[in-house]
A = this chain, B = another copy of it.
């Protein structure tokens, strides 16, 4: 197996750096340093060079961009956090898988060809121990995960003298209160710790996964790496087709960011898509199976209650959440309350043994502008608030999922209600899409809504690719979706006034004004595409030292004229 069609060399003049911890000197926080060319001026007939400070950027790409690291998907990534977990002394290695289904898949010889080869034994909390970051935070412990996450949030700040409130202790306090989440399953030690919360840089999640109609394991692993490479902070594997178990293993072992899933999808596959046959027992075994594989957070649609089902028929587009619609149908068929709701305490008891966070799914999220902010949506939100406190009582970390399709004027109410009902748990929204009329461009319809809701305090935004509503994304779609959401997240960071957020903007703009074309490309979110657009237009003429661009040509370059004006004004001084 190899990473197909992926070029991991799109960041020229970038250097992988590692910043050590202070509380935990053994941790090495990965970042990307972009080195810049000097500004060149002609002063009194002489060429003078003024150096430009390098810019350090948040790096989600993991070891894949470390030239010292030899990529080997068969082996999986280094187990960065294994030592930290072991040193806490509150977990133990399992002698066998706890999930019946997991054992069945393991023992199925016909799967040998597609199985991830480098198996390790999962860990679990020792009896009576809560091994979640929230449990530690509440005890006042600053874990290596917390310090790692804190250092990541302050890339250029220390060197540039920018005051920042984001200390390891601050991270601990945010996690303790539930206002922030560090999704870090003890069985996914490959992932680099990161923090999701309103006070931190806005994060973005990407979705990948095959459906019955498409996509194999290799393609999904490639998409996972690709998504991290371009800037995805977390990754959800939403596979619903064949070999979900094996696909997930490959992804987790090779994924440097937290991985989420929606366990009900796999549970439904186990009963061949027949909702009626779903049971708590099947779901429970699926949770354990995935906890031991290393999934970092589960989307659980436990807020979709039996009483909500009739509200669906009042809508223009019904229930557009797969998990929500499955559970809603189940409550009707069985005329019983959802087992996700009735067994919620048991779910939390399982999750706190592995430190899997719950992402409370919004099964009733609106699927159209028409259905935004309706009764079904907000009734479910009330339930999510109730479940948040229940999960916290088990030291389980919680995210709250949000919509969906919402016109701009109704976005504010979504986050203010979420804040009111969900006790400060981080909000994690899908877009929202601000209009329904642009399939094939929904990365844009939704980036508009995502930027707005993130500015208002949403901690993580779930990307939407151009293929949303139409088909599964290709590698190119993943890239487009990630960049659109990096833009939305960063625009929100700027608007929130996050310390140091504008360092990269200012460096790029200065490069632009200086005609340092290469720096302009290298500082951008997608250096490869920016350079390609520039080079194509030149058709061999000119080069990237030109003091103008194709847009205006040499006579009309406002930046060049500005430099003349500056020179003249300075002479007049």
Q: Which residues of A contact B (CB under 8 A)?
A: 211-214, 240-241, 265, 268-269, 273, 275, 309-310, 312-313, 315-322, 324-326, 328-329, 332-333, 367-370, 405, 407-409, 434-441, 443-445, 447-449, 451-452, 455, 466-472, 483-484, 486-488, 490-492, 494-497, 502, 504-506, 508-510, 512-513, 520-521, 523-526, 529-530, 532-534, 536-538, 541-542, 549-559, 561-566, 568-570, 572
Contacts and interface: CB of A to CB of B under 8 A. Distances in A.
Contacts of A370: 502, 505-506, 509
A497 B369 CA distance: 12
Given A367-B509, A444-B447, A561-B319, A552 B313 contact: no
5 contacts: A407-B495, A441-B487, A444-B484, A471-B533, A472-B550
A268 B555 contact: yes
A320 B470 contact: no
Contact of A562 (B240, B312, B408, B508): B312
Contacts of A497: 409
B439 A520 contact: yes
A521 B553 CA distance: 39
Contact of A469 (B483, B512, B525, B556): B512
A556 B537 CA distance: 45
Given A408-B491, A440-B529, 11 more contacts: A212-B554, A316-B510, A317-B513, A319-B562, A325-B559, A434-B451, A436-B512, A437-B504, A445-B491, A452-B452, A470-B537
Contact of A434 (B466, B491, B565): B491
Given A484-B444, A554-B212, A317 B509 contact: yes
Contacts of A484: 441, 444
B332 A565 contact: yes
A441 B483 contact: yes
Contact of A526 (B441, B506, B555): B441
A404 B496 CA distance: 20
A525 B497 CA distance: 35
